[in-house]
Structure 1
Amino acid sequence: MSAATALLAEDEPILRERLATMLARAWPGLEIVAQARHGREAVELFEQHQPQVAFLDVHMPGLNGIEAARAIGSRAAIVFVTAFDKYAVEAFARGAIDYLLKPVEEERLAETVQRLQARLAGGSAAPSLEDTLERLAARLGQPAAPRLRWIRASVGDTVRLIPVDQVAYLKADHKYTLVVWQGGEGVIRTSIKELSDQLDPEHFARIHRSAIVNLAQVASFVHGNDAGEIQLHGRPERLPVSRSFVHLFQRM
């Protein structure tokens, strides 16, 4: 039986290499026959190699992942790789396209691999994507939601209004989220996941399932075996960075 084949399309080299490494562990029998840096190259390489699976980043220069998927159609199993839940959940709910959320986690990738293997083993054709891709394209064209600029945090019996650019980090703490800023710390009821969706990804990053850090507050990153930790400017604590998020600091 010949090996299953795949195309990876991701414009960030570090993320592309990381996904390739994770796939090698999760699916040793998969042969990655091509890697694309943008949507147009993804379509060209697909036509050249005709892989059975295409992993497509939603946001790529030139043709985006949705446009590339439209060009590929039902000739391959499509897996979107995205940082945006609203696109991924819409596709997955329809059962037409699988998805991986960035940063890709081993457990979630294993589930996707199992579904892909079952589909390929059964010889079933990929479902029609046209309707789903139309909905995703429409959503992709919607203006982005406004970013969070202030956080209302409880400090004892007082409610403080904190500008987000003063926040050092946020950390899940049971039913609450701890907000640590330049002048102190407080708690809010908003979850880490909700905050991650509302904060500007250019300035804030998840470093763990339960923590978000202001990148401007990061003084240094220390590599560990598989993960690491960061030191913040003017603060004694070190914050652990889990394996899934280490790629954010690879260039430090």
Structure 2
Amino acid sequence: MNIKILVAEDELILRTSLIKKLNKYWPEAEIIAEESCGLDALKSINELKPDVAFLDIKMGDLTGIQVANNIEHPCHIIFVTAFDKYAIQAFESGALDYLLKPYSDDRLYQCITRTKKLMNSQPSAASPVVEETTLDSGKYLSRLRVKIGSKLWFLPVDDIICFKANGRYVKVVTAEKEALIESSLKTLYEQLSPEYFWQVHRSTIININYLKYVNTDKVEHLQAIMDHLDEPITISRRFNHLFR
């Protein structure tokens, strides 16, 4: 599997050091671009389509988080920064990992190992199957074809509790199983019935048929409490109006 990597870091010494370490600990991967600012990183990700992007957070023009929130080409995002205060925003942006400077070689190797394991476990043949429905508003996705291990499943969309962006993939969550499909959240959202599937966060779509209630304890971040899920789902301020 030929892995393509982009590195964005505004400090040349740190950027060069990270690239050398990536070449050492991930020799089978290819560094296809190195950028020193957010705007160039955003352009390169969309044009060169890397599998993994290592992004500094403070890069002068656009922050790494702004880059992650505006990319058109989905890829695995790993933030590399000296500031721990951005961790929550980073993971809400769908980050796979968060390397805090100065990180050790062991920590970087751990990050690489985790990323490789995730990518090797993700299905390459999984794709959505669009079928006609009886909804008056047109055609919407009725089933998803996903491969889990050696089994091929055709999951009814009505059984899906939520969709969560996960790098280049989207995690599909039902009461009984989880699976990854190779798609962007935006592409899926356009094929789902807006009557039942609401986007509540940049990286999350929920099926409101499984919504138990909304926790309003935190004014800035409402939380959706879902049937069959142990953890609440964060509702970003951009989508708070859906529940007012």
TM-score (norm 2): 0.49
Greater helix share, structure number: 1
- Indicate the structure (1 or 2) with the bigger Cα radius of gyration: 1
